[in-house]
């Protein structure tokens, strides 16, 4: 078995091979913000996420002996140099592991509902890790794929797994860190309702935002010190299927990381007026209508509300009516990485 795999691996690494993979975006319930090792891309805090069913990226990779350089297409356009560099860095790691010098043709498409306003680096690098390794005949475990995806984008480590996953904090210098699955997609029928608060790309990317926070925010140390406690509360809420415990810790995690980013120099303010309006809608639904609904925001202006499946319609309608909210969409817990040869 081993010998056969090695043989096929050897031949694919020299004559080429093709694979495609699907991975889905995830929303951090306990946020990752801050790195303890920039070179190895290791998070300074533990994070916990829910993988989302409808937000799929599909990526195909073909290693071709006739190519002289890697070709990268994203959503049917040629990737910008900064995007291509991150893709090539992952391909280089896979080539080194497979002992191959072949160049690849990469094509990645976000099958997100139109302009969901959600970042696709998590689903993108998770899908790329799956497709690139399989295309060269490497049969890696989910943990190893998660490690590979983590080097490119730490949140991508979590998208290897379906349902709910955790990425522990890293140890500087130790490249082995991977996410691990906590619960399957059918563990708890929750919904995320996304309220899209603005068009366009975010002003400050997460890698830069984290580094600026580390260098200049007086609240950075406090955030790093408190994040493990919040992750523990989120984990406890998930384990007990207790939405109050989970939601309260989730909101605190997002507000604490945003407070840390806002206090950087220059300040990083991801919010727009519609972000605060949506946040208020969520609080009103909780305080006045008695719904168990909680909000979280990533490195961008959109508000993602977490609620039970039974409350989804009410939450989506209220957010849809909120001033400045452009549109809404909802998602449920989704599957992990799927690879096809």
What part of residues 7-36 is at the interface with ligand DP6 (CB under 6 A)?
28, 31-33
How many whole angstroms separate alpha carbon 315 and alpha carbon 243? 15
Instruction: Specify the stretch interacting with ligand DP6 by CB under 6 A; choose among 56-64, 67-75, 151-159, 220-228.
Output: 151-159
If binding is defined by CB under 6 A, does position 312 make contact with ligand DP6?
Answer: no
Burial class (CB in 10 A: 0-12, 13-18, 19+), 266: exposed
Least separation in angstroms between CB 268 and ligand DP6:
11
Site residues (CB under 6 A) for ligand DP6, limited to 276-305: 298-299
From residue 118 to residue 147, the character string flagging contacts with ligand DP6 as x (rule: CB under 6 A) and all else as - is: ---x--------------------------
| Residue 207 makes contact with ligand DP6 by CB under 6 A | yes
Give exposure, 82-98, as e/b (b: 16+ Cβ within 10 Å).
Answer: ebbebbbebbebbbebb
Residue matched to tokens 């007086």: 218
Q: Indicate which single residue of 57, 120, 123, 153 sits in contact with ligand DP6 (rule: CB under 6 A).
A: 153
- The CA distance from 178 to 164, in Å, is 14
- What backbone torsions phi and psi does residue 261 show, to the nearest 5 degrees? -70, -40
**Which residue from 9, 47, 328, 330 is in contact with ligand DP6, where contact means CB under 6 A?**
47
Query: Contact with ligand DP6 (CB under 6 A): which of 155, 252, 296, 316?
Result: 155
Q: How far is CA 158 from CA 26, 35, 49, 167, 303, in A?
A: 7, 16, 7, 6, 20
- CA 68 to chain CA centroid, nearest Å: 31
Nearer to ligand DP6, 185 or 230 (CB): 230
Residues in contact with ligand DP6, counted by CB under 6 A, come to a total of 14
Q: Which residues bind ligand DP6 (CB under 6 A)?
A: 28, 31-33, 41, 47, 121, 153-155, 206-207, 298-299
């Amino acid at each position: 078995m081993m010998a056969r795999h090695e043989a096929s691996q050897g031949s694919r690494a020299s004559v080429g091979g093709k694979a495609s993979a699907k991975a889905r975006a995830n929303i951090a319930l306990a946020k990752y913000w801050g790195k303890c090792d920039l070179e190895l891309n290791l998070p300074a805090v533990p994070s916990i996420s829910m993988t989302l069913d409808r937000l799929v990226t599909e990526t195909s990779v073909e290693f071709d002996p006739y190519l002289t350089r890697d070709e990268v297409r994203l959503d049917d356009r040629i990737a910008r140099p900064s995007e291509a560099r991150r893709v090539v860095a992952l391909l280089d790691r896979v080539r080194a592991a497979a002992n191959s010098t072949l160049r690849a043709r990469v094509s990645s498409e976000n099958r997100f509902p139109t302009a969901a306003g959600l970042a696709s680096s998590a689903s993108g690098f998770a899908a790329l890790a799956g497709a690139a390794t399989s295309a060269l005949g490497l049969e890696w475990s989910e943990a190893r794929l998660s490690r590979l995806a983590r080097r490119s984008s730490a949140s991508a480590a979590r998208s290897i797994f379906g349902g709910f996953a955790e990425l522990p904090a890293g140890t500087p210098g130790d490249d082995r860190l991977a996410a691990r699955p906590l619960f399957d997609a059918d563990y708890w029928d929750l919904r995320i309702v996304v309220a899209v608060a603005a068009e366009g790309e975010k002003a400050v990317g997460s890698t830069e935002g984290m580094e600026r926070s580390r260098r200049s925010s007086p609240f950075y140390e406090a955030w790093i010190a408190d994040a493990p406690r919040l992750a523990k509360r989120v984990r406890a809420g998930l384990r007990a299927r207790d939405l109050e415990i989970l939601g309260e810790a989730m909101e605190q995690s997002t507000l604490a990381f945003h407070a840390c980013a806002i206090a950087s120099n220059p300040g990083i303010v991801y919010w727009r007026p519609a972000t605060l309006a949506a946040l208020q809608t969520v609080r009103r639904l909780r305080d006045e209508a008695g719904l168990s609904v909680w909000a979280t925001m990533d490195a961008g202006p959109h508000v993602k509300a977490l609620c039970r499946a039974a409350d989804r319609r009410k939450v989506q309608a209220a957010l849809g009516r909120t001033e400045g909210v452009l549109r809404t969409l909802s998602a449920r817990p989704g599957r992990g990485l799927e690879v096809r040869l």
